[in-house]
Amino acid sequence: MFAKLNSIILFALVAFALGRLLYPVYIKFLKKIHAGKTIREEAVTGEKSVIFSQMHKHKAWTPTMWWWLLILIVLIMILLSVLVQKIGWTNNSLINRQETYVLLAGFFGMGLIWLLDDFLNIKWYGAKKWLSAKAKLIMMFIFAGLISRWFYAKLWIDYINLRPIAWKIHLWIFWPILTFVFTIAIVNAINITDWLDWLAWGLMWLELLALLVITYTNQTYIATTFVTIVGAVLASFMFFNIFPAKIFMGDSGAFAMWWLFATLIYLLNMRIWIIIPFLILFLPFIVDLCTSFLQIFWKKVFHKKLFEVAPLHHLFEKRWTHESTIVMKFWMIQALLVAVFAIMMFYQIGGELI
């Protein structure tokens, strides 16, 4: 067990070092090809997003598409793991049917497809500067359906663990429907918690840290190694995304990360009760998602805004709270939620050992 921990830490350190070395060069490259972020001028409901545009016009042309470098580093680490296995230093590479097939396939597949959106954002092709909301929704539905089908049809999973509220509940055909909705909710929550430097990625990093500890305690060491590598590259990304950001992740990175979160939750659901603790861990994203949903609902039904601007972190920003202050407070709340999550999970693990 300790040998595996040493291997995981070593992979993380190598990934972190690669990120720190390559980011400055990569940022210069993005600036050279003018791969800068454009600010959206329309809300989801179609009207002009004047407040949003005014608050974030200073972020225009900041280099984006961080995801390309993450792909490169993860690929290097996968090849390194295969080489180390062939040499005989370890028994497994990062390519494993039971633990990482679905993680790797979705992580790379989702990110590569959504690079199209980043590319359109940079080059301003078409009437819009990015994929339309309808096109994004269709792609979300396709990939959410693929996740649900994989676990239901390939792994024969039809249950959820809702402890401490309830025991294991078999849902049969309703399981893929529930996971489909759950996955769509996760992707939208992550995608809207954005536009403040290192807000979404800092929250995700803390959550990823909590989840990788749980995957390790459940002895899924290969999945833990992969998640740790992603977390290490995110940590190196932090140095260049803290206010004022020198680079943005882009939608490709956001959608790849939601696939990782969703599949991790479903994998852990197979072994332990994770759903309720995860909802607590994911609370900042849920609050942002709910405020955004209520804003859209209010516009559609009552033809007026419920909030001056949504989601919640933009409302705080509009009230003249500096974005660094907002981010720090969100981090503090997320750290407390990680502690609550850890207590709940280790209480369960300890109880099962007894």
Angstrom distance (rounded) from CA 314 to CA 214: 32
Angstrom distance (rounded) from CA 104 to CA 94: 9
Q: Tell me what the mean pLDDT of segment 62-84 comes to.
A: 83
pLDDT for 17: 94
Q: Tell me what the mean pLDDT of segment 167-175 comes to.
A: 84
pLDDT for 61: 53
pLDDT for 118: 64
Pick the closest to residue 253 from 111, 64, 69 (CA basis): 111
Q: List Cα–Cα distances, 18 to 15, 225, 237, in angstroms.
A: 5, 16, 11
β partners of residue 159: 170
**pLDDT exceeds cutoff 70 at 207:** yes
Confidence of residue 2 (pLDDT cuts 50, 70, 90): very low
Q: Tell me what the mean pLDDT of segment 206-215 comes to.
A: 88
Q: Give the count of alpha carbons within 13 A of 259, CB side only.
A: 32
| Mean pLDDT score across all residues of the chain | 78
Pick the closest to residue 251 from 209, 309, 191, 201 (CA basis): 191
- Residue 338 neighbours by CB under 8 Å, 6+ apart: 206, 207, 209, 210, 281
**pLDDT exceeds cutoff 80 at 26:** yes
β partners of residue 63: 36
3-state helix vs strand vs coil in the chain, percent to 5: 70, 5, 25
Confidence of residue 168 (pLDDT cuts 50, 70, 90): confident
pTM for this one?
0.80
Q: Tell me what the mean pLDDT of segment 164-192 comes to.
A: 82
pLDDT in tens, 284-299: 989 988 888 888 888 8
Q: Among 119-128, 139-148, 218-227, 261-270, name the one with the lowest average pLDDT.
A: 119-128
β partners of residue 168: 161
Angstrom distance (rounded) from CA 14 to CA 248: 22
253's tokens: 């990175």
DSSP symbol at 170: E
Pick the closest to residue 279 from 293, 261, 294 (CA basis): 261
Angstrom distance (rounded) from CA 345 to CA 348: 5
Tell me phi and psi for residue 49, to 5 degrees.
Answer: -95, 75
What H or E segment, with its residue span, contains residue 308? none
Confidence of residue 332 (pLDDT cuts 50, 70, 90): very high
Q: Tell me what the mean pLDDT of segment 177-199 comes to.
A: 79
Pick the closest to residue 56 from 305, 289, 318 (CA basis): 318
pLDDT in tens, 309-326: 778 877 777 776 777 788
Return contacts of 208-216, CB within 8 angstroms, 24+ apart: 208/234, 208/261, 209/338, 210/281, 210/338, 210/341, 210/342, 211/261, 211/264, 211/268, 213/342, 214/268, 214/272, 214/274, 214/345, 215/264, 215/267, 215/268, 216/5, 216/8
- Residue owning tokens 């536009």: 195
pLDDT in tens, 240-282: 767 676 676 666 666 777 778 888 888 888 777 788 888 899 9
Query: Domain total for the chain?
Result: 1
Are 123 and 242 in contact by the 8 Å Cβ rule? The answer is no
- Residue 165 neighbours by CB under 8 Å, 6+ apart: 276
Q: Tell me what the mean pLDDT of segment 110-128 comes to.
A: 60
The boundaries of the domain holding residue 42 are 2-353
